[in-house]
Amino acid sequence: MAEWRPDFDDLPAGDGVLVLSPQLSLLSATLQAERLLRRRLELGQVLPLAEIFLEPHLAQVAAALQETLQTGASRSHLLVQIRRGADASIFLKCSLSPLYSSAREISGAILAFHDDALTMAWSAWANIGMGVEPEAVLENLDRGVFVVDQRWRIRAFNKRAEEITGFPKEEAVGRLCWEVFQADRCQRGCFLRATVEDGTGRTDQTVRITNKAGERLDLLVSTAPIRNQREVIVGGVETFQSLGVALVKRQAVASPGEVEIIGRSPAMKRLLNMLPQVAAAEAAVVLEGESGTGKDLLARALHLHSPRAQGPFVAFSCSALVETLMESELFGHVKGAFTGAIRDKVGRFEMAQGGTLFLDEIGELKPELQAKLLRVLETRAFERVGGTRPIPLEARVIAATSRNLAEEVRRGRFRLDLLYRLRTVSFNLPPLRERREDIPLLVNHCLGLLNRKYGKNVRGVDPKVITLFQHYSWPGNIRELERVLEHAFVFVQGAVITKEYLPELESPLPRSSLSGAAAYRSQSLSEQLTIQKALQKAQGNREAAARLLGISRSSLWRKMKAYGLL
């Protein structure tokens, strides 16, 4: 037999070692190998692989062993499941390396076994009697999980961890955990290090990491120690959930042309793609959408991206005043035009000369004013109330409404010719319930604004809160979301907003199985019940109820009228 001399110097203390011939007969074995395998090993016996390894690890080890004996290839850190009696098993790490003779020919193979933090955790799962593969459990969790040993090297890394950090498992496993996460607490105040040192788990702590793409992410992490059968801590496990891209400090006031419209949903992408071309044109625009969807923000963005950006942006709500005052507000008046007109007054059309006039809630205009507005748009000139001098219209008009103008025309409450004059281009802003993928972005944006306003350092919201937000119907849309978050800011003490800080959200998202008229009726009923509950909480005070709903008082009045709640 060829002379051989295995070298075990590079193996960690406590490894179990077997030396096999090409025919798999046992040439040598350490006592630690017998202890780990719980088998009496006799020199010269053929190693019974099928009695030691469980499937699918049996086939994996047999193939790797055959490759080592034929080609001299080495394998390391194979996770294998070892039989321990009829019903028990344990996970171990296995390494394979070739054994060479003095003539440098392959004369056998060396198998080394050892247990670590990961194998301890795996073995606990293997022995619960459910036939569950531990790896399959980790891979299907909705949060990232990684396991470290006592030397802080990553031993397990699930699919969700790959998605959050950007590091594939093959690149992360074996590296020091701080090389992968690059967290703000890696050097000082690491929660996992503290857990491994004192044996106490930490729950729902916030850290900021840098992912592989260089983005800063806020995470919500929990840690726990891993103990062996002698209750000695041999490693640690950390679970984590992303709170989104880390908040950055923004300027207190946006610079010209920097109005931020947040959205990555298909509907918002289409809208944002249209915006530059529409802004560059002089065409009249109507913005349609429910109250609170951000029509005023989009109007300002159209202005700031237009050739009129250096001119004024004048906004006027057509539902804010009684009809007798509205004409004066829009067109101005001359001294003595009516009782109380003690001096000349400039109207909104004149204020907006050289810029943009934004007419919000255009659907609220009475028929008489609709006729006058149509004449102004057609002649591009207007007169002050009581005056006779025509004044050229040198402003772009953008209108907005929360009503369905086509339906208003059908009911005879809005002029068809005025609709055609106003709606050269139409933007339909989707309600928040139809762009749920935008909610995390909007929350992130609002937190940045509220941190400045309240002088706090809230870094994110609990993932359970995001789930709740994405299943809520948001009758007040983005405006309601802002008010809900501001309510939480009043009470939150730490760095994360959890459900306990939120006001009561009572209107569920209509089921996707409802469609057409049924979905519309379900949504209307849900909104009606929400309004009724808000009025009850506010003891009939409409202004207080509107604040609870995150909508304007005039919008609440219109909804109450539509539902017969006046």
Q: What pLDDT does 2 receive?
A: 41
pLDDT band at 14 (very low <50, low <70, confident <90, very high): low
Q: Give the separation between CA 424 and CA 213, rounded to whole angstroms.
A: 43
Q: What pLDDT does 4 receive?
A: 41
Q: Do the Cβ atoms of 178 and 159 come closer than 8 Å?
A: no
Q: Do the Cβ atoms of 291 and 477 come closer than 8 Å?
A: yes
Q: What pLDDT does 245 receive?
A: 55
Higher confidence at residue 82 or residue 428?
Answer: 428
pLDDT band at 7 (very low <50, low <70, confident <90, very high): very low
Q: Do the Cβ atoms of 404 and 417 come closer than 8 Å?
A: no
What is the rounded average pLDDT for all residues in the chain? 81
Q: Give the separation between CA 204 and CA 355, rounded to whole angstroms.
A: 50
Could you tell me how far CA 218 lies from the centroid of its own chain? 11
Residue ranges covered by each domain of the chain = 16-115, 135-245, 266-428, 458-562
Given a cut of 60, whether residue 489 has pLDDT beyond it is yes
pLDDT tens profile 352-370? 999 999 999 999 888 888 9
CATH topology identical between 16-115 and 135-245: yes
H or E element, residue 325: helix 323-331
Given a cut of 90, whether residue 396 has pLDDT beyond it is yes
Q: Give the separation between CA 115 and CA 105, rounded to whole angstroms.
A: 31
Helix (H, G, I), strand (E, B) or coil at 441: helix
Domain covering 266-428: architecture: 3-Layer(aba) Sandwich (3.40)
Q: How many CB atoms lie within 10 A of CB 96?
A: 20
Q: Give the separation between CA 54 and CA 36, rounded to whole angstroms.
A: 15
pLDDT tens profile 193-245? 998 888 888 877 888 888 888 888 888 888 888 877 677 888 888 988 887 65
Nearest to 219 by CA among 264, 186, 194: 186
Domain covering 135-245: architecture: 2-Layer Sandwich (3.30)
For residue 6, whether the previous peptide bond is cis, meaning omega lies within 30 degrees of 0, is no
HEC-encoded secondary structure of 35-54: HHHCCCCCCCCECCHHHHEC
Question: Got the DSSP string for 43-96?
Answer: TTSBP-HHHHBPTTHHHHHHHHHHHHHHH---EEEEEEEEEETTTEEEEEEEEE
Nearest to 148 by CA among 118, 169, 122: 118
Q: Give the pLDDT mean for 2-14.
A: 42
Q: Do the Cβ atoms of 497 and 462 come closer than 8 Å?
A: yes
Q: Give the pLDDT mean for 178-190.
A: 85
- According to CATH, the superfamily of the domain at 16-115 is PAS domain (3.30.450.20)
Helix (H, G, I), strand (E, B) or coil at 300: helix
Q: How many CB atoms lie within 10 A of CB 413?
A: 16
